[in-house]
Chains A and B, each alone.
Chain A
């Protein structure tokens, strides 16, 4: 994982992690290693990013918090990562966008889904498994057929709706999901999963559909 982090430029941000207070560099929160989802950490990152990006509303802060919560729950529910995960948060005040990245050293999305014997994915390449996981509702590696399979789709919708994209790296594939659809790239083999979501939180969500509550 270290080697991979270095390849994608994470390593230079690496620090000791743990429970040290958030450290701010221009445009970047220092990389943090987590061994569990810490809601207080997530909320503090969301609040900090919201302060750094001009025009960020309470709703935008909610979106950042939601994205981080979903990225981290994916890791700790599905990844089987002995090292937990690394979290990177960056912001670009001029472009009003934020980038949240989570990298784990687990089994990777393709293996996690194949392990759960999702029949349609057994013979698919890593790229197509990633595309299915991010675009099809109801595909999940959750145990016992319990409901799930919304998180990654929701993240993609949030990012694309707000002028951004989601990048997923796992196995030998790198897939970038934009408004125009997924684009596949070759990637050095990576056993874990790296996901980055890049979006402009200040762009409001689309008008609500049917109101149930």
Chain B
């Protein structure tokens, strides 16, 4: 399944709410397809809020392996790709921290 960011978010790609729209589209595709491809068409985002809410927070409940296996992000500008990687790793660390805290409290 292919998602064009421009189709989902139109011209608004800065706010967390815009990111939520993108994530909902991804989550819908997640249930229906083996892989989900998100195409940024080289549009510059430069918003941590959008990339975090749209994609990175998936790592709060999915493993990085699962994300790598099922989600493809294409045509993202290089600075945005770097930012998205950083945000996703931060969310994955947050999840691991939460899991260890929960395990520790058992």
B80 close to A62 (CB less than 8 A): yes
B87 at the A interface (CB under 8 A):
yes
Chain B nearest Cβ from A88, distance in angstroms: 20
A65 at the B interface (CB under 8 A):
yes
B90 at the A interface (CB under 8 A):
yes
Which residues on B sit within 8 Å (CB–CB) of A73? 14-16, 47, 49
Q: Which of B79, B83, B90, B91 has the most CB of A within 10 A?
A: B79
* Chain A 44-82 interface 0/1 with B at a Cβ cutoff of 8 Å (1 = within): 001000000000001100110110011001000100000
B85 close to A211 (CB less than 8 A): yes
8 Å CB contacts to B: which residues of A181-213? 205, 208-213
Which residues on B sit within 8 Å (CB–CB) of A213? 71-73, 76, 81, 84-85, 88
Which residues on A sit within 8 Å (CB–CB) of B1? none
Which residues on B sit within 8 Å (CB–CB) of A63? 79
Which residues on A sit within 8 Å (CB–CB) of B89? 209-210, 212
Bound-state CA distance A128–B100 (Å) is 26
A164 at the B interface (CB under 8 A):
no
Which residues on A sit within 8 Å (CB–CB) of B86? 154, 208-209
Which residues on A sit within 8 Å (CB–CB) of B52? 147, 150
Majority DSSP secondary structure for residues of B touching A: helix
B64 at the A interface (CB under 8 A):
yes
* Chain A 144-177 interface 0/1 with B at a Cβ cutoff of 8 Å (1 = within): 0001101100100000000000000000000000
Chain A nearest Cβ from B76, distance in angstroms: 7
By a beta-carbon cutoff of 8 Å, the part of chain B in contact with chain A is: 12, 14-16, 44, 46-49, 52-53, 57, 60, 64, 67-68, 71-73, 76-91, 93-94
By a beta-carbon cutoff of 8 Å, the part of chain A in contact with chain B is: 37, 39, 42-43, 46, 58-59, 62-63, 65-66, 69-70, 73, 77, 137-138, 147-148, 150-151, 154, 205, 208-213
Known pairs A66-B83, A77-B16, A213-B81 / 12 extra A-B pairs, C-beta < 8 Å? A62-B77, A66-B48, A70-B47, A70-B48, A137-B93, A138-B94, A150-B52, A208-B85, A208-B86, A212-B64, A212-B89, A213-B72
